[in-house]
Structure 1
Amino acid sequence: METSTVVPFNAQLPSSVARDGFDTPSASAERELAQLRARVRELSAELVQAQETACRHVARELHDGVGAELTATRFALASVETWLPADAPPQCAAALAVANRSLDAVCAASRQAVAELHAPSLEAGIVGALAHWTSDFATRTQLRTSFVCAADVRLTRLPTDAALAVFRVAQEALNNIVKHARAESADVRIETSRRHLTLLVSDDGIGLTRNARDRRGHFGLSGMQARCAAFDGTLRISARRAIGSQRDASGNASRGTLLQARFAWDAMLAHAPRAERRALQS
């Protein structure tokens, strides 16, 4: 009677190896590679968890510490304005007005920072969370922002940690566009295939400058890479030529930036209930 050996990952082993039960160098290398990938996932997940813990801590400090000091400062300025003599020089009132405007700006920035540091509500799923955040982002920054998403039922079933990873990468990418790209518009898109969820964030800004390339060790970029790696994914940032005849201030064809963050469905759905995971992957 003939016997057959089923080899995982469609690897082919010589018949002599199958008879003797020993691994070939390639099989051993594949096993070690799988172990390394698992370790990368584990370390990346730990880094992401540490980042979220740090975000929560900073948010509490901003809200409880800085927020309290800003409130005390506001009352102090109000007292100064109340007790200011009627014959005080007009420069005093002008200085108080400047101080109050600056305080208003700091308070608004602090509230926004606290809101972004806190994990978003994902009860409506990643699609609802990103649609709401990009709309608010566009209103707040005046950057024309669009959001398009594939119709894929798996997006509604993502576990919280996986949905948060996608959200945080999109959030960081858009914030970077406002800070560095000098762009007028940005597009956020989620595409899906059988094996991967891909987040694409593009803009029509100045593209990848030398300074941008030198920021490879930047905390935000490393954080995005870790979030992708935690779900067997990859992060790629490349220059993107603008469509049509868009020109920059120097008259050159403007170049935007394209960020592609890929996540593996198998890793993202790993924490979903087993029966639900089988149904989504079939």
Structure 2
Amino acid sequence: MNNILRQMVCSMFSYRLSLTMRTLNRQGIIKARWFLLPTLLLGTFCLADDVVDLAISDSERAWLAQHPVILHGVVDQAREHEPFEYYDDHGRYRGLTSDYFQILAEQLGLKFIEIKKQSLPAIGAALDSGEIDIASYLPLVDSRRIDREYSEPIIRMPIVLLGRVDAPLITSLFSIGSEIIAVEKYSYADRILQINHPDINIKYVDSTQDGLRALQKAEVDVFIHNAFSAEFFQRKMGLSPFKIVNTTPYTFDIHFTVNKNLAPLIPILQKVMAGLSEREERLLFDKWINIQVERQLDWRTVIFWGGLCLLVVLVVIGGILIWNRHLASEVAVRTVELENSSNELRDLARHMTRVREDEKSMLAREIHDELGHTLTALSMGMRRLEGLFKSGSMEQNVFAAEESGQAIGVPIENKFRELINLVKEASRTSRKIMSDLRPGVLEDLGLTAALEWLVHEFQTQCDIECTLFADDISAGISDDAATALFRIVQESLTNIAKHADATHITVSLKRETAAIVLCIVDDGKGLSRNWETKEGSFGLKGMRERTLALGGELHVEPAEDGGVSLRLQVPI
């Protein structure tokens, strides 16, 4: 599509959009939808790029090259032929035919120079004399003239009978009786009535505007004029809508008219006009009939709706700012929580590392001090027996030993019993070490039996009464879950022994719907202040990490009768 047509379409899109918004305000969404759809279509069309293929022959192109400049005659009288061609207040050539000439200039590469004349007869005389080359508003009065060439109509405007909304229907021009008929003087309608209906009583008006005002004031009953100009000025003047009481068989046609010497230009112009689609012609037409309307703004309405829109915008902005502030506060809290959690995880990791190192050190001490000592004594006894065997003393069934510088004979059977006791002590030590690392009863007999053993050992070592209520939940629980629950009970009992000063502990383990619930309650001195954030408090953190690893939940709170209640729930 050429540039001028694109500008027209985009201008129409802007107008249609504003018209849709006014319709939404005045008539509601249901009626506004009939404006919204054409608006969207115009927006789409505005972005399109149509290419017109002109079938211009080589001889026509050669003729255009020989006539690059065309003189165009225009009436220099303000607004007389509005909206088709006129000069605006800034002296610019405007109107529907002006857009046609811009399209012709772009498509054909011609330059049209406007030559101003005072009237249509003056333009006709200048055209006949060759002073100008083309005119666009000369009516076709006599098609038999040989000094002019006319194109097919570029604009065909129906002549109609306009009346007020409450006016009765007039069947035809021949049925007009006592009605007062207004006609613009020297207009095409005036010439038609003088030729074909001389008996109609006519009241002449000087312009289209005067005829519409007279019709609205009920000074006349009917105003006969072309429908396009009447609609344009009715919208422009802001008058109440009129009704077309009937049509006529006549049309006011606008042609391109050229001097006979430029007759080859007519078929070229008609090819360009034929290249415009019906949609493009409609858009060009609607630009001037429906858009070029100068209305006075209702400032009170503008201020009201503008203030309302501003208030809505301020409310939305205020809401966004409040929400952003709330989000910023939430982000700050979450950031602190994440930092604290990260610090706790680092501290827990360091603690677990220290615990592992302490366990390794303790294991090394036990192996060295107990198991190592026992194995060394066993090894020395075996070597002495080996020496006696080689010397032949074994036959005397006496083991020689020195005591206070004197040789004493010891029965060999006693020495064998000592060695056997050393082996048993080494075995007990190894079992104790392995039990500390992972109780064998947990693997052999299951979680319930392991907890019974743990409670018994705890009572024996710490002299604190401990009661266990446990269901048999061995079936359906994984080894990892059993180990985690055992270690949590073990850690809880250790913490109670160290910090609670308790005299009685209750441990319960039971199965609920799709979950295992572990409860540990003591009657000690309870939780200290800020116990959750206390530095170095890794026992509960470790238990919570074990619980989370199983997908469970752990809650610690004061018990009803004092002390502390720990409740843990993990899914099966």
TM-score when scaled to structure 1? 0.51
Are the equivalent residues in 2 in contact too, given 1:200–1:258 (CA < 8 A)? yes
Q: 1:159 aligns with which of 458, 467, 478?
A: 478
**What SS class does the counterpart of residue 474 from structure 2 fall into?**
helix
Q: What is the identity percentage for the equivalent residue pairs of Structure 1 and Structure 2?
A: 28
Higher deviation after alignment, 123-132 or 189-198 = 189-198
2:451 aligns with 130
Alignment CA distance shift 1:69-1:146 (3 Å): same
Q: 1:192 aligns with which of 489, 511, 514?
A: 511
Are the equivalent residues in 2 in contact too, given 1:126–1:156 (CA < 8 A)? no
Q: 2:526 aligns with which of 182, 201, 207?
A: 207
Alignment CA distance shift 1:225-1:149 (3 Å): same
Which protein is richer in helix relative to its size? Answer: 1
Q: 2:570 aligns with which of 254, 258, 263?
A: 263
**Whole-Å separation in 2 of the counterparts to 1:238 and 1:141:** 24
**Whole-Å separation in 2 of the counterparts to 1:54 and 1:156:** 35
1:71 to partner: Cα distance = 8.9
Alignment CA distance shift 1:234-1:66 (3 Å): same
Amino acid aligned to 1:59: E
Per-residue CA deviation, residues 35-60 of structure 1 (Å, 9 max, x unaligned), is xxxxxxxxx9xx99x95x98666434
Alignment CA distance shift 1:56-1:159 (3 Å): farther
Matched ranges for 1:99-178 at <5 A: 117-121=436-440, 122=442, 123-151=444-472, 154-178=473-497
Amino acid aligned to 1:263: V
Per-residue CA deviation, residues 211-232 of structure 1 (Å, 9 max, x unaligned), is 6344376221111011111111
Matched ranges for 1:1-282 at <5 A: 58-65=358-365, 68=368, 117-121=436-440, 122=442, 123-151=444-472, 154-210=473-529, 212-215=531-534, 218-242=537-561, 255-265=562-572
Alignment CA distance shift 1:118-1:55 (3 Å): farther
**Whole-Å separation in 1 of the counterparts to 2:367 and 2:513:** 47
Are the equivalent residues in 1 in contact too, given 2:518–2:568 (CA < 8 A)? yes
RMSD: 3.7
Are the equivalent residues in 2 in contact too, given 1:59–1:114 (CA < 8 A)? no
Alignment CA distance shift 1:156-1:56 (3 Å): farther
- Select the structure of larger CA radius of gyration: 2
**Whole-Å separation in 2 of the counterparts to 1:256 and 1:234:** 21
TM-score when scaled to structure 2? 0.27
1:248 aligns with none
**Whole-Å separation in 2 of the counterparts to 1:228 and 1:172:** 13
Amino acid aligned to 1:222: K
Are the equivalent residues in 2 in contact too, given 1:59–1:117 (CA < 8 A)? no
**What SS class does the counterpart of residue 191 from structure 1 fall into?**
strand
- Give structure 2 stretches of 5+ with no counterpart: 1-344, 374-428
Are the equivalent residues in 1 in contact too, given 2:448–2:471 (CA < 8 A)? no
1:147 to partner: Cα distance = 0.6
State how many pairs are aligned: 170
**Whole-Å separation in 2 of the counterparts to 1:173 and 1:192:** 20
**Whole-Å separation in 2 of the counterparts to 1:124 and 1:70:** 28
**Whole-Å separation in 2 of the counterparts to 1:177 and 1:115:** 24
**Whole-Å separation in 1 of the counterparts to 2:356 and 2:532:** 30
Alignment CA distance shift 1:234-1:116 (3 Å): farther
Alignment CA distance shift 1:176-1:201 (3 Å): same
